[in-house]
Amino acid sequence: MAWDFETDPEFQDALDWMDDFVRREVEPLDHVLGSPYDITNPRNIALVRPLQQQVKDRGLWACHLGPELGGQGFGQVKLALMNEILGRTRFGPVVFGCQAPDTGNAEILAHFGTPAQKKTFLEPLLANEIVSCFSMTEPQGGADPGVFTTKAELQGDEWVINGEKWFSSNARWASFLIVMAVTDPDRPTVDRMSMFIVPKDTPGVEIVRNVGFATEKEGSHAYVRYTDVRVPKDHLLGRRGEAFKVAQVRLGGGRIHHAMRTLGRVKMLFDMMCERAVSRETKGEKLGDKQMVQEKIADAWIQMEQFRLFVLRTAWRIDRYKDYMQVRKDIAAVKAEMPKVLHDIATRALYIHGSLGISSEMPFADQVLQSFHMGLADGPSEVHKVTVARQLLRGYSPSNTLFPSYHVPKLQAEAEAKFAEALEHIDDVI
């Protein structure tokens, strides 16, 4: 039996370096640069590239990749601990070469891409010479694939794509988009769609507008229209009708990394809340001396630590079983709990800061809004809760009797029968 809550000393040294490096060199970027995905911006090039080189020199670049792709082959537990540090800053993942959605798209290309696709798209993506976009959601039905209407028809040696996609993150900066489209409308939903690599400069690809969150300075989520977009036949990613299989490859581990990045952000908010509690005085005493503030801090810490252990155990199970499907309910539960943890702790931090907390000079209102985004991205929380419940209920058998198997009169009768001989002997002795 092995059950350990310690990190290997050698890897802990790497984490310690990362923590110091991110705090000193990476976090300040959030205050002087725009989007981490605007990689051709001269300001980004001047400030980000030198930091990326330091990461590469340390052997910590793109650690989510296997050795065959130039990565370290770290398991999910190590990646989770790394992402907990990177989550403190918007630029952390880019500086370390592990930013979403590029990580998931790279994983798709690594598993399903042809040698030519890997050469053209995967290699520059891994080097952060380009960025990418995952274009799946549609305006009329959100993330429900049963109502997707974007279609791709094979005409000679080309696929012709028509339709609209919604909230295609980072499309404005992407060099290519991975697009999910209906290719076989008469087949079951899980077999109807295929994945395609679409270079953004292909004629017919139109960004109708870029949509932003209420707190964003510029929109980064594109409303994209595809009008007679022609891509070569060999731009099909995976086999025809395998879009669901392809998509699942990018989701399991990615959700764990996302959860740990969120936890890093939550811990930062918690630290801010505690500093405020020991600094601010009102009514003759520190905020931290007031019992209702103490309750908020205690509840936040308990919630944060519970979530951290749950995520790390899920990461451990992925490493243990090497099968995302076997850990499906755990991953779904992590995804469902993540927005609540962020929402609750960001809200407490905001409230303890008073009017300053709700202002644009603090990050709390933005993080409260981000919590709703997390509850919707990669499928709404309700869908993941359904998955958790269904997976759990498969482990139970129905009772075939009128009363439940745990009905007390039944259990009492069974217990009396089980111990009847022993009790009769004791009664005779007494």
Radius of gyration of the chain (CA): 26
Q: How far apart are CA 257 and CA 102, in angstroms?
A: 13
Q: How far is CA 264 from CA 92, 171, 254, 305, 380, in A?
A: 11, 26, 15, 12, 22
Q: Which domains does the chain have, with CATH numbers?
A: 9-99 (1.10.540.10), 132-241 (2.40.110.10), 250-393 (1.20.140.10), 400-430 (no CATH)
Q: How far apart are the first and last CA of the chain?
A: 45
- Which residue type is seen at 294? Q
Assign 251 a pLDDT band (cuts: 50, 70, 90).
low
379 phi and psi angles, rounded to 5 deg: 95, 135
Q: Which amino acid is at 340?
A: K
pLDDT per position as a tens digit, 197-227: 999 999 999 999 999 887 777 888 999 999 9
Could you report the per-residue pLDDT of 107-145, keeping only the tens digit for each?
A: 889 889 999 999 999 999 999 999 999 999 999 987 788
Digit-coded pLDDT (tens) for 382-407? 999 999 999 999 999 999 999 999 99
Q: What is the pLDDT of residue 1?
A: 64
Q: Lowest mean pLDDT of 78-92, 239-253, 289-303, name the range.
A: 239-253
Q: What are phi and psi of 24, to 5 degrees?
A: -80, -40
